[in-house]
Amino acid sequence: MTLPTAFSPGAFLAPAIDWLNANFHPFFALVTRVIEAVLGAFEGALLALPPWALIAVVAVAAFLAINLRAAILAGCCLGFCWLTGLWTGSMQTIALVAVAVAISVAIAFPLGILAARRPAIEAALRPVLDIMQTVPPWVYLIPAVMIFSLGRVPAIIATIVYGIPPMLRLTTLAFRGVPKDLKELGEAIGAKPGTILWKIEFPAATPTLLVGLNQCILLSLAMVVLAGLVGAGGLGAEVTRGLTRMEMGLGLRAGLAIVAVALLMDRLSRGALQQGRRWRRPGAAG
Amino acid sequence: MEISALIARFDEMVDNALFWLGDHAAFLFDFFRVVLEGLYDGALWLLELPPFYVVALAAGLLGWRVVGRGFGLGIAVALLACAAMGLWPETMSTLALVIAASIIALAVSLPLGVLAGLMPRLDRALTPVLDLIQTLPPYIYLLPSIALLGYGPATALVATVIVAMPPAIRLTSLGIRQTPHEFIELGRATGVTPAQMFFKIRLPFAVPSIMAGINQSLMMAFGMVVIAGIVGSGGLGETIYGAIRTLDIATSIDASIAIVILTMMLDRLTQGAARPRKGARK
């Protein structure tokens, strides 16, 4: 039951993508190489230490930065990843998420500040963000796969794009929520715009910014896991293998390792959030 | 290595446990599968009964009534475009999956949300569970369901229901809890029965929040249904999965356009359904 005339926007767009691939290949190859290099370096760093040493380092860092509970949780989660026999996959997933989140934040943070200053930019961005947040994550993978083919690069690009909206929204909200009297105080004592931004607005906006970071991390993790379908490697690939080959033991181990990674990232970023609140309090009082 | 031995033991245990379940509890899972697939088939049958232009027209009229004339015209044209791309059966089976999953999810989560709103202790017990469900990537919910229910729409439905429940539970309980104090006191002072208190005072105040929860649930369900293409749910998800694996660019673009059309339609329709009621009440 279809219309007699076939209509396919895809058939029109496919040649355009082919043309892009043919004529901009050096550019895409450059992007691919840069991303692969950064990811490779990050993964190499995570895998350079033996698992027990990395677990110890992370636990100590969590203890120093947050508290004992966070340290125990971090140790348990990473130890669990090790026990599932998927240490390499877990580290690949963590590296993908970390690089994607860093780039998402680097894009969303300045845009968010700009949108908080200029209502016109915010009005222009809002419908775009609305659409981006309603579209299911799968759809992000398709254009990335078309241009960068299968592998880690389309995965990370889709993840970056998917992680931008929550961070951008909450950055705008955070900077809009900075009390006016604080900014006026800065202007009255003749601080430079840069000083006002970093010394006054940024500390006041930190709690909301960290909420944005937490959401950005969790959405990125969901996307990285899903990207196992397009050959991104890591734990997502193991889940996909388990699902498609009905190797339930492997699938279950990968799923549990993902649970551990998700808990680790969520709790650490939330711990940082509470820490951020604690820093802010004396600052606001003094 | 001791870890590899441990892993082999674990995998064996999982396989054995699944075999055991398959031997001893097959009737239970078959029953679930029959119920779920029945619901899905029913929804699909209803959607495929009329020809595509009737469905598009009906959706257009609904959009006009609920949102506005431009939107109604837009979705009628967009659905006709889906049919023209040759994706009509897939579009309808995706919609049927979303509808079936949302019905189950809402049938569980609305009463649960109301109970949680009335009983703070239940709410406190549910919160960590909901947090966990929302923290984990949706993709992994396919694992337990494929292990127990096998390949097919029933698996997709189970995973979708899990993902769709938390927002509805949360926002329902929030809406029930947020009844203004004065009105509860007014109710007590005038001596209403508990049922009247609930239906005439608490529920009306909760409606906007509940509608927001239904909207979010539907959107989560939609995202999951598309992902569930990998376990053979049928519909647009499977079309895209197949097209990506064979790098068939034209089909994957068409299918993503159809997905975006459906997403926009469901999102705006449920948002639009929430708005006028809120306006009428205030």
Whole-number pLDDT of residue B108: 92
Task: Please give the model's pTM, rounded to 2 decimal places.
Answer: 0.82
In this prediction, residue B155 has a pLDDT band, given cuts at 50, 70 and 90, of confident
Measured in angstroms, the CA of B147 and the nearest CA of chain A are apart by: 7
Measured in angstroms, the CA of B1 and the nearest CA of chain A are apart by: 11
Q: Tell me if B240 and A138 make a contact (CB, 8 A cut-off).
A: yes
- Write the residue in A240, A244, A262 that is nearest to B136 by C-beta: A262
Any A CB within 8 A of B147 CB: yes
Q: What is the ipTM of this complex?
A: 0.76
Measured in angstroms, the CA of A283 and the nearest CA of chain B are apart by: 31
Q: Tell me if B244 and A251 make a contact (CB, 8 A cut-off).
A: no
Task: Tell whether B125 is covered by a domain.
Answer: yes
Whole-number pLDDT of residue B248: 78
In this prediction, residue B279 has a pLDDT band, given cuts at 50, 70 and 90, of very low
Asked if residue A89 has pLDDT above 50, the reply is: yes
In this prediction, residue A242 has a pLDDT band, given cuts at 50, 70 and 90, of confident
Whole-number pLDDT of residue B168: 92
Counting every residue, how long is chain B? Answer: 282
Task: Tell whether B41 is covered by a domain.
Answer: yes
Distances (CA, A) of B281 to A186, B178, B182: 45, 16, 17
How many distinct structural domains can be found in chain B?
1
In this prediction, residue A276 has a pLDDT band, given cuts at 50, 70 and 90, of low
Residue of A nearest to B4 (CA): A85
Task: Tell whether B3 is covered by a domain.
Answer: no
Query: pLDDT digits over B111-149, tens only?
Result: 999 999 888 899 889 988 888 888 888 888 888 888 788
Which residues of chain B does A3 touch, with a Cβ-Cβ cutoff of 8 Å?
80, 83-84
Q: In sequence order, what DSSP letters do the residues of chain B get, joined into one string?
A: -HHHHHHHHHHHHHHHHHHHHHHHSHHHHHHHHHHHHHHHHHHHHHHHSS-HHHHHHHHHHHHHHHT-HHHHHHHHHHHHHHHHTT-HHHHHHHHHHHHHHHHHHHHHHHHHHHHHHH-HHHHHHHHHHHHHHHHS-GGGGHHHHHHHH-SSHHHHHHHHHHHHHHHHHHHHHHHHHT--HHHHHHHHHTT--HHHIIIIIIHHHHHHHHHHHHHHHHHHHHHHHHHGGGGT--SHHHHHHHHHHTT-HHHHHHHHHHHHHHHHHHHHHHHHHHHHHHHHH-
Residue B185 C-alpha from the chain's centroid: 36
Asked if residue A283 has pLDDT above 50, the reply is: no
Residue of A nearest to B219 (CA): A134
CA A148, CA B9: separation in Å to the nearest integer?
39
Task: Tell whether B93 is covered by a domain.
Answer: yes
Any B CB within 8 A of A83 CB: yes
Q: What is the residue whose two structure tokens read 């390499």?
A: A88
- Write the residue in B142, B222, B260 that is nearest to A243 by C-beta: B142
Q: Which domain holds residue B152?
A: 26-50+86-274
Share of chain A above pLDDT 70, in %: 94
Any A CB within 8 A of B15 CB: yes
Measured in angstroms, the CA of A174 and the nearest CA of chain B are apart by: 23
Measured in angstroms, the CA of A268 and the nearest CA of chain B are apart by: 13
Whole-number pLDDT of residue B1: 58
In this prediction, residue A4 has a pLDDT band, given cuts at 50, 70 and 90, of very low
Which residues of chain B does A9 touch, with a Cβ-Cβ cutoff of 8 Å?
85, 253-254, 257
Any A CB within 8 A of B231 CB: yes
Asked if residue B92 has pLDDT above 60, the reply is: yes
Any B CB within 8 A of A20 CB: no
Asked if residue A67 has pLDDT above 90, the reply is: no
Q: How large is the average pLDDT for residues A23-31?
A: 85
Share of chain A above pLDDT 90, in %: 7
Give the residue among B193, B228, B9 at the shortest CA–CA distance from B97. B228
- Cα-trace Rg, chain A: 22
Contact residues, A window 113-142, toward B, CB-based 8 Å cutoff: 131, 134-139, 141-142
CA B241, CA A195: separation in Å to the nearest integer?
50
CATH number, position B243: 1.10.3720.10
Q: What is the dihedral of CA B72, B78, B84, B90, to 10 degrees?
A: -100
Asked if residue A120 has pLDDT above 50, the reply is: yes
Residue of B nearest to A264 (CA): B135
Measured in angstroms, the CA of B255 and the nearest CA of chain A are apart by: 9
CA B175, CA B173: separation in Å to the nearest integer?
5
Whole-number pLDDT of residue A12: 77
In this prediction, residue A1 has a pLDDT band, given cuts at 50, 70 and 90, of very low
Q: Which tokens go with A286?
A: 């003094």
Query: pLDDT digits over B209-233, tens only?
Result: 888 889 889 888 888 888 888 888 8
Q: For an interface test with A, give the residue of B249, B260, B267 to mutate (most A CBs within 10 A).
A: B249
Task: Tell whether B110 is covered by a domain.
Answer: yes
Any A CB within 8 A of B40 CB: no
- Write the residue in B136, B241, B251 that is nearest to A10 by C-beta: B251
Asked if residue B207 has pLDDT above 90, the reply is: no
Task: Tell whether B77 is covered by a domain.
Answer: no
Query: pLDDT digits over B252-271, tens only?
Result: 888 888 888 888 888 888 88
Any B CB within 8 A of A244 CB: yes
Q: Which tokens go with B130?
A: 């909901």
- Write the residue in B140, B237, B249 that is nearest to A258 by C-beta: B140
* Mean pLDDT, chain B, integer: 84
Which residues of chain A does B226 touch, with a Cβ-Cβ cutoff of 8 Å?
136, 138-139
- Write the residue in A8, A145, A248 that is nearest to B147 by C-beta: A248
Asked if residue A5 has pLDDT above 60, the reply is: no
Q: How large is the average pLDDT for residues A195-214?
A: 84
Asked if residue B238 has pLDDT above 50, the reply is: yes
Q: Is A230 within 8 Å of B244 (Cβ atoms)? A: yes
In this prediction, residue A108 has a pLDDT band, given cuts at 50, 70 and 90, of very high
Any A CB within 8 A of B139 CB: yes
- Angle between helices A234-245 and A202-226 in degrees, nearest 10: 30
Give the residue among A24, A232, A218 at the shortest CA–CA distance from A145. A232
Residue contacts between A and B (CB atoms, under 8 Å)? 159
Q: Is B167 within 8 Å of B153 (Cβ atoms)? A: no
Distances (CA, A) of A209 to A64, A162, A200: 22, 17, 14
Q: Is A71 within 8 Å of A63 (Cβ atoms)? A: yes
Whole-number pLDDT of residue A3: 44
Whole-number pLDDT of residue B276: 56
Q: How large is the average pLDDT for residues B246-255?
A: 81
Share of chain B above pLDDT 70, in %: 97
Task: Tell whether B65 is covered by a domain.
Answer: no
Whole-number pLDDT of residue A277: 62
In this prediction, residue B234 has a pLDDT band, given cuts at 50, 70 and 90, of confident
Count other Cβ atoms within 10 Å, centred on residue B32. Answer: 16
Task: Tell whether B78 is covered by a domain.
Answer: no
